[in-house]
Structure 1
Amino acid sequence: MAKAKHKDPFWTSYSDLMTSLFFVMLVLFIICLIKVGHDKEVIETQYRETKASNEQLKQILQLEEQFKVLGQSTSLGYDKDKKMFYAKDFVGIEIFYSDQDKIKEKYLETVDKVGNDLMEILKALSNDNFHYQLVIEGNAAIKWDQLKHNTFDPDNTEMYHLSYRRALALYNRWRAKGHDFRKYNTEIIIAGSGFNGNNRDQKVEENNKRFIIQIIPKINRPEIKDSIK
């Protein structure tokens, strides 16, 4: 009878150890693949978002140039520092009756022209990349004696209400003339700043007898593709 073969316990243990190490390395290799794949996806996403942000910046710069051009060719002037439109013919002029929100008859024709030009501006700006907020903001000038003696209330509630009603009166006039600003992807906001507001003329108080038009673009975020172009 042949002698029974005995396995060397060293080689048995060594074989078990190498098998365990193989599985450990296999698990680590899989983890590394997952990690690399995730990092690659993060990098690609960041690249696509950066590319989209650059595209948005280009659109904003182009829009700024359009604002300047349109401000030169219409009854609305464009203040590039404050990024707002204003009626050129009405600066320093009280187009409303004193302490009322009724427009003086002699200014109605010019008000209508401003409404027409505003429609043309929104039409010219209209594209698939932007929606707009159209802010019609009323202001009020402080009377000279109050300004001189600093006796005015900057938060005069009546002036807030009056300037708001005047802005609303302008919008209602334009709407009565058939101007539907909303058809150019535009949201309408009526505002009254009274004696306040960042858009006030700090040098010539009489120039605050005006209304201000702000066209605020709301960017439609460019579609981010699944792969880098």
Structure 2
Amino acid sequence: MLKKKESFFWTSYSDLMTSLFFIMMVLFILVMVLLYKRMEVTENKLEEIKRVEQSTRELNKKDGYFEYNEKYEKYVLRIDIFFPELQTNFAYLTPGCKDSLDRAGDEVVAFLKRHQDTKYLLIVEGQASRNSPKWMDRNYSLSFERAKNLMKFWLHEKGKTFGNNCEVQITGSGDGRLNVHSMRHPINEKNQRFLIHIIPKNIFKE
């Protein structure tokens, strides 16, 4: 009788261990499949991120109006801008300069239309050169006003639209005296310019 009980116990114990082993195997396989799928999704997302980031370099054409700076990750308009001291109005720019800015805006609009499946943050940054010491405190507001007037020029005067996939922000980084690590040109006068940031917004979403 005792032997029968012991035999029943070991049989049951063996069945239990077999069942637990089977369950562990199933869970292990399930975890591995889920990890593989997760890695696959992550790799696809990384490829998508690289593709979208690379697409922004399209503006960096040899004969275009933009030049991409790898170090600061932003575009510089290849257009010489000169405002008289303390002026921000586009009426002070030459017709040729305004024509170039107009075509540069067309390039941005065309880029956004080609990539409507991605949402972008477009930042227009104005900069200023260092001028007379008594006016230097105004350079930050001047750089912002110039960037604002560039957007008004594009939107109101030239009737451009940047589409529903683009959020626009305007900023001014002044003459660099506050050491904000913004990109600066070694020639002071060349800092009267506009920098353009095109940042993908939705590439990190699942």
Common fold by TM > 0.5: yes
SS state at 1:140 partner = coil
Check conservation: 1:56, 1:219, Cα contact below 8 A: no
Aligned to 1:4: none
Structure 2: 5+ residue runs without aligned partners?
none
Aligned to 2:112: 122
Give the CA deviation at 1:118.
1.3
Aligned to 1:141: 129
Any idea what the Cα deviations from partners look like across 1:74-133, whole Å, max 9, x if unmatched? 22222234332221013xx33x45334322242433322221121112223x053x3211
Aligned to 1:190: 170
Give the CA deviation at 1:197.
4.2
Give the CA deviation at 1:65.
4.8
Aligned to 2:144: 164
In structure 1, what is the Cα distance between the partners aligned to 2:7 and 2:171?
77
In structure 2, what is the Cα distance between the partners aligned to 1:33 and 1:25?
12
**CA-atom RMSD in angstroms:** 3.2
Aligned to 1:149: none
Any idea what the Cα deviations from partners look like across 1:33-86, whole Å, max 9, x if unmatched? 333333333322332233233333434444455444432142222223433222
Structure 1 length-normalised TM: 0.69
**1:140 alignment partner AA:** A
Aligned to 1:180: 161
Aligned to 1:36: 25
Check conservation: 1:67, 1:78, Cα contact below 8 A: no
Larger radius of gyration: 1
Structure 1: 5+ residue runs without aligned partners?
1-11, 147-151, 224-229
**1:175 alignment partner AA:** L
Equivalent positions of 1:16-31 (< 5 A) are: 16-31=5-20
In structure 2, what is the Cα distance between the partners aligned to 1:16 and 1:115?
88
Give the CA deviation at 1:213.
0.7
Aligned to 2:74: 84
Check conservation: 2:76, 2:194, Cα contact below 8 A: yes
- The yes-or-no answer on 1:207 pairing with 2:197 is no
Counterpart among 82, 88, 99 of residue 86 in structure 2: 99
In structure 1, what is the Cα distance between the partners aligned to 2:139 and 2:42?
41
**2:98 alignment partner AA:** L
Q: How many residues align?
A: 198
In structure 2, what is the Cα distance between the partners aligned to 1:205 and 1:14?
99
Check conservation: 2:122, 2:167, Cα contact below 8 A: yes
Counterpart among 26, 31, 38 of residue 49 in structure 1: 38
Check conservation: 2:72, 2:183, Cα contact below 8 A: no
**1:121 alignment partner AA:** F
**1:88 alignment partner AA:** R
SS state at 2:129 partner = coil
In structure 1, what is the Cα distance between the partners aligned to 2:54 and 2:14?
60
In structure 1, what is the Cα distance between the partners aligned to 2:25 and 2:141?
61
